[in-house]
Structure 1
Amino acid sequence: MLSLRHLAESDRFADVMRVLLALTGIAVWSTLAGPADAIVPALLGAIACALAETDDAWRGRLRGLIVTLLCFALAAVAVKACIGTPPLFAVLLPVGTFLLVMLGAASGRYATIATATLILSVYTMIATDSAGTAAGGWHGTLAILAGAAWYGSLSLLWSALAPQRAVRHALARLFESLAALIEAKAALFEPVRGLDLDALHIEFSKRNLRTVEALTAARVALLDRIGRRQPRGRSAARLGMFFVAQDIHERISSSHYPYDELAGALYHSDLMFRFGRLLRLQAIACRERADAIREVAPLRTIALPRAALDDLREALAYRRRSDPPDEAIDDALSALLDNMERLQAGIEDEGSLRDDADISLQDNEPASIREALGRVRLRLNRRSMHFRHAMRLAIGMLAGYALMLALHPTHGYWILLTTLFVCQPSYGATRRRMVQRIAGTTAGLIVGWALLRLLPPGDWRLPVLVATGAAFFAFRLRRYALATGVITLFVLLCFDRVGAGYDAIGPRLLDTLLGAVVAAAAIRFVLPDWRVRRLDDIVADALLAYGRYLERIADQYAHGKADDLAYRIARRDAHAAQAAVAGNVAELLGEPGHSRDLGERALRLLTALQAGLSHLSTLGSHRQSLPTDDALALQTLARHMTHGFDTLAGHIRAGTAASPLDTPALLAGSTTRGTVGAETVRLVDRQCLLLIRVHDRIAAIAKA
């Protein structure tokens, strides 16, 4: 029973069940009441609509469904009207592909709908061609749209009956990613010498990338359900959990002192081990919270046992009594303990949203069609990744169509489908998809050949057809090769419904290979977008975001801590920018054509930026109102440092050498401030000095 409940509460269960119900309904209706030849296009339409689905509340899903069906109808009608005229179709195909990909620049929701529309267009070609009605007959097109509308209606009803499921799963994924991030942080507190800190920092950056993505998904899900209303009840509790997760993320991202120096200074102490143990306990608590959210179980506090913090306090007190004083180490240890204590205080207040608190969330969706078109216009240039991918995919689809006409016009649209699925915005992603697609298609065709021989002809094969369509959605996000295999089997059984099952096996494998070759050629030769060439621009964007984050932090040391929307946006932008660098470097390392030195340079830039973000997070974690003179000095220092980051960003973007920051001038007077809050002032000064070192380190790496 527990395993069944765990399965029912898993992330993919609801999606798979909706698809299974939709496909079963189509199969039953076509068998008992409807025209038998409508089953294949209706099934393809339902799958295309499922691919266009987003995790919105029912109102947002209704709006999305209307837009989706409108786009599907326009695409299906255009394909049906032009497919019998190759010259006209050769013009429509790349133009339509380019427009749909550029539509995705408006927002993630538009991108999902645009991609699904492209897929439905190719499904329309396959359904039309397999039925042998390229020149006329609109029954298949209407069946595709009917299948899409049927799935959309089922999804809308499901969303209305379970409005909070998507929020629960988004929060569960968020706390899971936080647990993994905290474990990566705990690895930095291993009390041993000779650790490969660069490798640990890179691993931390990878996990931070997933945490940033999870934070974004949770914010979108909450914003869609709450909107501009004042949250109450469960909505307020879940919003409170989200804000606690943000606080955990900032505090775990902080770095109070270089870890190698800290480990060396505390080599004969157990303090590093104690801090690491606290972090691992926090990771366990976050993972338990994720399980409880997903399974709708009672939520227990994720605050650490007070005894664990008490033990750490006693250990710190003993060190101060027994070891020679070391102001820098002592301040770092005190700040680490203070950070853990404040984290626990925030966790204990979880769910309590003060009336005067700013609980608004930023909505990144365009507010109007004009704003959506404005976003698209901004990306109509050669430097835009959206534009380059749109051009690349449009030319790839045209090349695939020309190849199809030259080799075998009958049943050749699988070339276009393979090109569409394989051609990704980056070389690394395209290469992975190509290998997975070929392996999955080959396995699917072999299994399909065996099933066609073993299963008797007729409607007995329908359950297998339905099951393979649902299985595609179970595997497509995490095991793409397996998903490709089952969807290949699905389409092969669809061809068998029109009497072309065996005849499709050989051409399908050839078409997959040809489509993969077209996609590989497109990513290699059509406006190639090598990540090594984009690295400097993305690093510059991160430096600019760091400057904005630092300005917001400095303001709060002057006016007091406030997690208002402006501060949270600046913090999120800084983390998102660093995550973009991490993603870019991961893709860069899988690309050909760059030297080992360039790869090492990229990794050094990534670790330096991660260090800079850690020091900024430390400043953000310890925000409090300072005396006026100290606050003014910090604001002045922050302005100079922000100007330095902005200037460095300009040099990196232009490919010119940058000068190091004038450290003595920037820190002049910082060590002679008043004694009120002296420990906090010293922490701020030390973090600013470390940020200046990060600036100079990045400048040196960029110049190399």
Structure 2
Amino acid sequence: MKQLTSYLKQIPWLTSFRTAFLSNPNRLLSVKATFVIGLLIIIMVSFGLPFYAVTLGLGALAGALSETDDHPKGRLKSLALKVVSFAIASFSVELLQPYPVILGIGLSLSTIVFILIGGVSERFRGVTFGALLVGIYTMIGTQISPNWYLQPILLTSGAFIYGTFSYILLRIKPYSLLEEQLARGFAALSLYFNEKSKLFPSTKGEEKEIRTKLALLNVQTVEALDRCKEVLNSYGDSLKDQTPLKPYFYYFMVLQSLHERATSSHERYDLLSENSSNKDLIGGIRQLLKEISTATQRFGNSLLTGMPYKHPTAADWLIKAVSNSVKNNDLNPSLPIKLLIQNLSQSHYILKNIKENYNNISLPKLEKETRSYYQIFKLQLNIDHPKMRYALKLSLAFLISYATYKYFNIEKGEWIVLTVLLVLQPSYSETRKFLLQRILGTLAGVVSGIVIIKLFTFYGQIALMIASAYLFFFWLKRKYSISVIYVTFFVMCAFNIIANKGVDAMGPRLVDTVLGAFISFLVVRFLWPNWQYKKLPSLLSEAVLKNSAYLKAILNEYEKPLTDDLDYRIARREAHRADNALVKAWQNMQLDPKKHQKLKVTAFRLTYLNHALLSYLSALGAHRAQNNKQTLNILSFENHILKTLEEAFNWLTIEDNSQISHIEDDLEELRQLLHSKKEKAVRIEYSLLFNITEVTQRILKQAQLFKLAEGENANK
């Protein structure tokens, strides 16, 4: 066996295919789910049981969609919860079918309970979503089920079979979840580094456009970091001997460090580009960022494929060339460019030696949820809580959908309810995005599917159904509208296999999809639509508060560097989460109705400025390890900066606008203090602090305009 494996590894095209396949996590999930679904369908069809085939396949589909990223022990608990909740949901629907009024009310009330339970933890969220999905699948299949008890048994069995298969694979390779999540984090960071390389050189206009893209890419990176943390905590809580986790904890810490260095800014990039003393270095920095981007992507791929990591040789050459250029440059490049090169050199060194250093570290502490499940659940029992509002909206939409379907006796009307589950989101803008993608995807799937399915024989349709399952999972997290096309193919083939009515069912499916989307739109439009501009004041004040905490943590590190920097990492992560919330609000605002987009320009400026402020703070944090007080000279200005940020937060959270002039005076005093250094070289040492001050002042000016505009809108 070993000889065969060794021989296969020597075949170039086979090695290339294996590497390309394994380097995409979406392919791994797709193959796992498709294998189980395909196996169940083929076995049942071969026994002449098409209804069993499709229903088991749907159960496996629901099981895959509701799967959570847990340590094997946690995955086993999740599977047990899933089987119980799926069985309860499906049996309840079957038993209440003769009593539509009770079923409608039960569906509505159970939805509230499921959503609130799902809000307690990620594990429960997956299980409760799957339970709602299985309940609706049961409604869809009731009319064609030979016996009332068959669907609950088959749907639950399909989910159990998939869960068992997935659990066995996880046992065979128990750390694959950690490797996958870390790989996603390094891939997201690679995109960030690559986009940032475009800043060298850049004009002021180009810088603004690129910074906006970087803010959006930062959302993906921070979310990937959060998922890595949750999976690491899951493993850490389940293992007594945590020695095997050492490399993964180390890679996570490296990922966080690289992210801080990637997001840091030492100066406005247009000014760095215009400075003649930096001219010879700009091109080298651009190429070096590209090589670091390549390195992060390569390391992520090595985690997925098991292939040895090879650091780009060009990065070594570039580091030497850029460093020598700094030493031999008669024009004496500015301090910000020197600090930037120092930052990139450290990133290069970390990646180059990433496989060698993890044995020398102790396991770091990670942020954990300290509240009990009961405390989190109780917190949601408030009409103003976002999760409660979402539960009520979804519950009402289900009730309207089910009542419409029953009252008008709509053919295949259960799909109206299914559409509501899949498109209705907590806010108007998010719902609108999913709604359009769902309708367009279904329309494209119906039109193309009717043409394609006529070309296939019975067994060809089985093959198409299995292929559609694979493509559905592959595109699900990449582009929702495309995934909808393939799930439409899947459904069409399923109905053809059961009763040769796949094409006939597509007309009602399209109508029901439009009806479900319309009901979702009405509910989310008139019941707590959650307009983005209304969230901006609280989001901005939260961002300023978290930036202040981040700066305090940085200053603490400069004064007394700690061996365990948990508090620092928490403060940094919270600042990035607050920044991401601002970015998402601005992004989602563009989907709100025009009359609620009046402050879109201000929202963009606030988003841009806050991300710029966070990047300057990140630069301070990235250099904290050197503890170079003489170079950065920040401690003497600690009180001025913190006082300004705290007063800014207080001003944003109260109605009294008189305090703004006092804050502006403090900022101006700080600007003058920084400018008072007469020697140009010394002033440059304060460039980071100057930029932090300037950006804070600009944020306050935009916030002031926002408050005025908000007041005018309220008066109207």
Please confirm whether the aligned pair reaches a TM-score higher than 0.5, indicating the same fold. Answer: yes
Q: Which residue of 1 aligns with 2:601?
A: 600
Q: CA deviation at 1:700?
A: 0.7
- In the TM superposition, residue 487 of structure 1 has moved relative to its aligned partner by 1.7
TM superposition shift of 1:656: 8.5
- The 5 Å alignment of 1:680-695 reads 685-695=686-696
Q: Give the match for residue 43 of structure 1.
A: 57
Q: Assess if the C-alpha contact under 8 Å between 1:256 and 1:687 holds in 2.
A: yes
Q: Which residue of 1 aligns with 2:276?
A: 266
The answer to whether 1:284 aligns with 2:316 is: no
RMSD of aligned residue pairs (Cα, Å): 3.3
Within 5 A, what are the aligned runs for 1:82-161?
82-131=96-145, 137-161=148-172
Supply the AA of the counterpart residue of 1:263. S
Q: Are 2:277 and 1:275 aligned? A: no
- Whether the aligned pair in 1 keeps the contact of 2:277 and 2:334 (CA below 8 Å) is no
Q: Quote the residue 1:475 is aligned against.
A: 475
Give CA deviations for 1:69-99 in whole Å, capped at 9, x if unaligned: 2221221122222222121122112212222
Deviation at 1:670, TM superposition (A): 8.3
1:168–1:293: 8 Å Cα contact kept in structure 2?
A: yes
* 1:418 aligned partner, one-letter code: T
SS at match of 1:529: coil
Residue 436 of structure 1: aligned partner: 437
Residues 177 and 207, structure 1, Cα contact 8 Å, conserved in 2:
yes
Cα distance in 2 for partners of 1:512, 1:477 equals 21
1:40–1:127 CA contact under 8 A, matched in 2: no
Q: CA deviation at 1:559?
A: 0.6
User: Shift of residue 472 of structure 1?
Assistant: 2.0
The alpha carbon displacement at 1:592 in A equals: 1.6
Does residue 495 of structure 2 align to residue 492 of structure 1?
A: no
Is residue 2:192 matched to residue 1:188?
no
Give the one of 642, 647, 650 matched to 1:644: 647
Q: CA deviation at 1:668?
A: 9.8
SS in 2 for 1:361: coil
- For 1:41 and 1:99, locate their aligned partners in 2 and report how far apart those are by CA, in whole Å: 26
The amino acid of 1:184's aligned partner reads E
CA–CA separation in structure 2 for the residues paired with 1:280 and 1:506: 50
Q: Deviations over 1:509-531 (max 9, x none)?
A: 21111111111212212211121
* Contact 1:657/1:702 (8 A) holds in 2: no
Counterpart code for 1:544? L
SS of aligned partner of 2:334: helix
Cα separation, 2, equivalents of 1:353 and 1:464:
47
Structure 1 equivalent of residue 334 of structure 2: 330
User: Does structure 2 retain, via aligned residues, the 8 Å contact 1:282–1:304?
Assistant: no
Q: Residue 536 of structure 1 aligns with which residue?
A: 537
Aligned runs of 1:378-527 on 2, under 5 Å? Answer: 378-450=379-451, 453-456=454-457, 461-496=461-496, 497-498=498-499, 500-527=501-528
Contact 2:412 / 2:512 at 8 angstroms: preserved in 1?
no
Task: Report the CA distance shift for 1:631/1:3 in structure 2 as closer, same or farther (over 3 A).
Answer: closer
Structure 2 counterpart of 1:284, one-letter code: T
- Alignment CA distance shift 1:455-1:253 (3 Å): closer
What is the DSSP-based 3-state SS (H/G/I as helix, E as strand, rest coil) of the residue aligned with 1:12?
helix
Q: Cα distance 1:460–1:657, how it changes in 2: closer, same or farther (>3 A)?
A: same
- Label 1:521 to 1:132 Cα distance change in 2 as closer, same or farther (>3 A): farther
Tell me which moved more, 79-88 or 342-351. Answer: 342-351
How far apart in 1 are the matches of 2:46 and 2:317? 68
2:255 partner letter: A
Aligned AA (1:488) = T
Q: Deviations over 1:240-292 (max 9, x none)?
A: 22222211111121111222333333378323333223222222222232333
- Residue 352, structure 1, aligned to residue 357, structure 2: yes
Aligned to 1:326: none
Instruction: Work out whether residues 495 and 504 of structure 1, in 8 Å CA contact, stay in contact via their aligned partners in 2.
Output: yes
Does 1:313 pair with 2:323?
A: yes
Q: Residue 339 of structure 1 corresponds to which residue in structure 2?
A: 343
What is the CA distance between 1:480 and its match in structure 2? 2.2
Aligned to 2:212: 202
Distance (whole Å) between structure 1 residues aligned to residue 335 and residue 67 of structure 2: 51
Letter in 1 for 2:306: V
**Percent identical:** 26
> Equivalents in 1 of 2:222, 2:599: separation in Å?
26
Q: 1:144 to 1:347 in 2, by over 3 A?
A: closer
- Distance across 2 between alignment mates of 1:508 and 1:671: 68
Instruction: Return the offset for 1:646.
Output: 3.0
> Residue by residue, what CA displacement relative to the aligned partner does 1:320-366 show, whole Å, maximum 9, x if unpaired?
x447xxxxx733233223323333444455352476756122234x7
Q: How far has the Cα of 1:447 moved from its partner?
A: 4.5
Which is helix-richer, 1 or 2?
2
The answer on whether the counterparts of 2:292 and 2:348 sit within 8 Å (CA) in structure 1 is no
Partners of 1:302 and 1:642 lie apart in 2 by: 42
Secondary structure of the 1:116 match is helix
Q: What's the CA shift string for 1:126-154, capped at 9, x where partnerless?
A: 12133386xxx212222211212111111
Q: Residue deviations 1:218-261, cap 9 Å, x none?
A: 3333333444656546x433332222221111112111122233
SS in structure 1 opposite 2:311?
Answer: coil
Change (3 A) 1:525 1:417: same
Mark the CA change 1:455 to 1:257 in structure 2 (over 3 Å): closer, same or farther. closer
CA shift, 1:663, in A, is 3.4
Letter in 2 for 1:481: S
User: For residues 617-675 of structure 1, what are the alpha-carbon distances to aligned partners after superposition, in whole Å with 9 as ceiling and x for unaligned?
Assistant: 011011144679x88645544542452343244248x99973435136668988999xx
| Partner Cα separation in structure 2 for residue 494 and residue 376 of structure 1 | 39
- In structure 1, C-alpha distance between the alignment counterparts of 2:325 and 2:25, rounded to whole Å: 43
2 CA distance for matches of 1:269 and 1:183? 20
Query: SS at 2:25's partner residue?
Result: coil
Q: CA deviation at 1:537?
A: 1.7
Distance 2:23 2:347 in 1: 29
Shift of 1:376: 2.9
Q: Which moved more, 1:46-55 or 1:374-383?
A: 374-383
Distance 1:398 1:487 in 2: 25
Specify the code of the residue in structure 1 equivalent to 2:168: L
CA deviation after TM superposition for structure 1 residue 455, in Å: 4.3
What is the letter of the counterpart of residue 479 of structure 1? K
Residues 1:401 and 1:655: Cα distance change in structure 2 (over 3 Å): farther
C-alpha distance in 2 between matches for 1:593 and 1:108: 35
Q: Deviations over 1:379-426 (max 9, x none)?
A: 333443322222221111111112111222552101111111121223
Report the secondary structure of 1:53's partner residue: coil
Q: How far 1:314 sits from its partner (Å)?
A: 3.8
Tell me if structure 1 keeps the 8 A contact 2:446–2:506: yes
Say whether the 8 Å CA contact 2:117–2:377 is kept in structure 1.
yes
- Aligned counterparts of 1:49 and 1:413: Cα–Cα separation in 2: 20
Deviation at 1:603, TM superposition (A): 0.8
Aligned AA (1:282): I
What's 2:373 paired with? 372
Q: Does 1:219 align with 2:220?
A: no
Report the secondary structure of 1:510's partner residue: helix
Separation of aligned partners in 1, 2:326 and 2:598? 43
How many Å separate the matches in 2 of 1:455 and 1:696? 66
Would you say the 8 A contact 1:184–1:204 is kept in 2?
yes
TM-score (norm 2): 0.87
Taking structure 1 as the reference length, what is the TM-score of the superposition?
0.88
Query: Take 1:525 and 1:599, find their aligned partners in 2: how far apart are those partners?
Result: 21
Query: Partner letter of residue 653 of structure 2?
Result: G
3-state DSSP class of the match of 1:269? helix
C-alpha deviation, 1:106, in angstroms: 1.6
Q: Secondary structure at the match of 2:70?
A: coil
